[in-house]
A and B are shown apart, each in its own frame.
Chain A
Amino acid sequence: MTKTAERPSAQRAAVPPRTRPAPRPDGRWRRTLTDQLHAYAFLLGGLLCFALFSWYPAVRAVVIAFQKYTPGSPPQWAGTANFTRVLHDPEFTAAWRNTLTFTALALLLGFAVPFLLALVLNELRHARAFFRVAVYLPVMIPPVVSALLWKWFYDPGAGLANEALRAVHLPTSNWSNGADTALISLVIVATWANMGGTVLIYLAALQSIPGELYEAAELDGANLLQRVRHVTVPQTRFVILMLMLLQIIATMQVFTEPFVITGGGPENATVTVLYLIYKYAFLYNDFGGACALSVMLLVLLGVFSAGYLRLTRSEGDA
């Protein structure tokens, strides 16, 4: 492209009456080349890391999903054998059921609670800094520590959770040790540990609602709940949807809580998809099966991620 651009000037230089000396025909070309070399020198480190640790593994997940792969020996093509093997694993159904239930419960609990908290916090005019710091504190505690902390709370012996129930004369629960209650116990941990971010983002959205809208609604005779329904929710619809999608994407990849608190038990009640991927790779040494599972998770999460990106992009344009 650059060469064709140079040619007219070279022809012009050949015409005698021109006074200015001809520019060196390859000068500009050389300059763009050094510019490009410099640009790529700056890009190189980042680009290599993306290639090695993002792009290549993504392609490789799909390839290995169709291979019999054991580290150390050459991979063999296996067709869809990995997928059929994984699909017939009884843990497969349990893992997907648990992950989807976990996501749904986390959406109910982990969304309703921060939503209500943010609504209340926005009305309070005192001790604002305290509320913000307190709600975000659990987010800064390492997830492993919060998981171990709640494991201790759920302890059937001296656990705080049962002590609290006894204090108010309620029947005690098995919490994370009971097959029925294990999953919801983990949802409580995840909600406690992560809701700080949701509260703060939602609070920021609430503060951007123009006050006149509430005034107008009040003049029209709308009571408190009607104002929430017809002003607050529609005004923050975009943030609500965005936070929901982010929450779905995050909770579908839950691993730390079941791994640390329940070890997937009791009776596979808390095995999640990511946990199963981990088990296939590091317990069964079956990397083909692990990658087949990863691809399934990837496709499902990709749909949600695409929705999230579309949403943020369309908002950015507006």
Chain B
Amino acid sequence: MRTLVSPATLARPRGRIVYWTVFTATVLLFALAFLFPVYWMVTGAMKSPDEVARTPPTLVPHHWHTGGYTDAWDLMRLPAHLWNTVVQAAGAWLCQIVFCTAAAYALSRLRPAFGKFVLGGILATLMVPAQALVVPKYLTVADLPLLHTSLLNDPLAIWLPAVANAFNLYLLKRFFDQLPRDVLEAAEIDGAGRTRVLWSVVLPMSRPVLGVVSIFALVAVWQDFLWPLMVFSDTDRQPISVALVQLSQNIPLTVLIAAMVMASVPMVALFLVFQRHIVAGISAGSTKG
């Protein structure tokens, strides 16, 4: 495809030299800017406490210690915090898939009275940046209206607010809108009820959008910091992000770095496995919102 620089220019000897120079420079720049910090983190955790504080620093650890990783695993109680994060992320994902899908299906196909009004109210929340509302949201979670129970220190405080995600709901609704009418009508004529149509026809046809919504839901919970910081004052309930910051003050540097690496592994692994889908999804312009 023709871009800024014409193929003819690139074919010339001088063009080729410039191209390969720019290419090499960009590879080096990317390696230095984005991969090297990650390398530094992974190897920093394997240095001895003396070596990590040494100036000038060593590029490769003299001795490869795994003590940082094992200490982080035991001292910082990483298994517990990682498990908390997994529970919070999985529950938020499940709640979003169940409630957002059902609501999007209703808005798209079941023509509820005042449906337009409800959709408008949902889309209006896109205009209200989530972080600006954390304090009143916290007060609501601390004392639910009518029920007067508190969800603080309970994973429900992550799961239920996650459902109020207008972006994901709208993504689903738009996808359902575009499903072919005749297929759904054929299922109805065959006597399938609404739940059956959703379960056996709509959902199987919506795999791509469900994948995108699932990744967004998982990543959002795993990366979040301010909300879990407010909601989980109980150390035993804290997800990894909050625990890392709380414990970062009084823990040896190598142990902290090892814990940071382990906190990143699940998301980086998710990215490397699904990188094609994720990059394609972002390129389609649908990630931010």
Chain B contacts with A in 142-177, Cβ cutoff 8 A: 142-145, 160-161, 163-164, 166, 169
Residue of B nearest to A200 (CB): B282
B4 with A281: CB separation less than 8 A = no
Q: How far is the CA of A274 from the CA of B226 in the complex (A)?
A: 10
For B278, the chain A residues whose CB sits under 8 A away are 136
A interface: dominant SS: helix
Interface contact A135-B30, CB-CB below 8 Å? yes
By a beta-carbon cutoff of 8 Å, the part of chain B in contact with chain A is 1-6, 19, 22-23, 26-27, 30-31, 33-35, 37-38, 40-41, 44, 52-57, 95, 98-100, 102-107, 110-113, 115, 118, 121-123, 125-129, 131-145, 160-161, 163-164, 166, 169, 194, 198, 219, 222-223, 225-226, 230, 240-242, 244-245, 248, 253, 256-257, 260, 263-264, 267-268, 270-272, 275, 278-279, 282-285, 287-289
Contact between A305 and B288, CB atoms less than 8 A apart: no
Q: What sequence of 0s and 1s flags, for each residue 37-60 of chain A, a beta carbon within 8 Å of any chain B beta carbon?
A: 011101101110110111111101
The reply to whether A281 and B103 form a contact with Cβ atoms under 8 Å apart is no
Q: Flag the segment in A87-95, A101-109, A155-163 that touches B.
A: A155-163
Complex Cα gap A216–B179 (Å): 41
Whether A121 contacts B26 by the Cβ 8 Å rule is: yes
Contact of A144 (CB < 8 Å), options: B31, B40, B241: B241
User: What's the least CB distance linking A312 to chain B, in Å?
Assistant: 9
Count CB-based A-B contacts (< 8 Å). 300
In the complex, what's the smallest C-beta–C-beta distance from A261 to chain B, in angstroms? 10
User: What residues on B are CB-neighbors of A231 within 8 Å?
Assistant: 4
Q: How far apart are the CA atoms of A60 and B142 in the complex, in Å?
A: 14
Task: Tell me which of B95, B123, B285 has the highest count of chain A C-beta atoms within 10 A of its own C-beta.
Answer: B285
- Residue contact A49 to B164, C-beta cutoff 8 Å: yes
Give the one of A57, A58, A259 with max B CB within 10 A: A57
Interface contact A166-B6, CB-CB below 8 Å: no
Q: Is the CB–CB distance between A298 and B133 below 8 Å?
A: yes
Q: Given A46-B102, A140-B267, decide whether A218 and B125 contact each other with a Cβ distance below 8 A.
A: no
Name B140's contact: one of A57, A207, A246, A305 (CB within 8 Å).
A57
Find chain B residues with CB under 8 A from A220 CB: none
Q: What is the bound-complex CA distance between A133 and B282, given in angstroms?
A: 12
Contacts of A50 in B (CB 8 A): 121-122, 125, 163-164, 166
Contact assessment for A255 and B111 in the assembled complex, using a CB-CB cutoff below 8 Å: no
Name the distance in Å between B36's Cβ and chain A's nearest Cβ: 9
Which residues from chain A contact B52 at a C-beta distance below 8 Å?
Answer: 158
Give Cα distance in the complex from A246 to B285, angstroms: 12
| Whole-angstrom CA separation of A144 from B22 in the bound complex | 33
Supposing A122-B4, A212-B2, A253-B132 touch, asked if A56 and B99 sit within 8 A by C-beta, the answer is: no
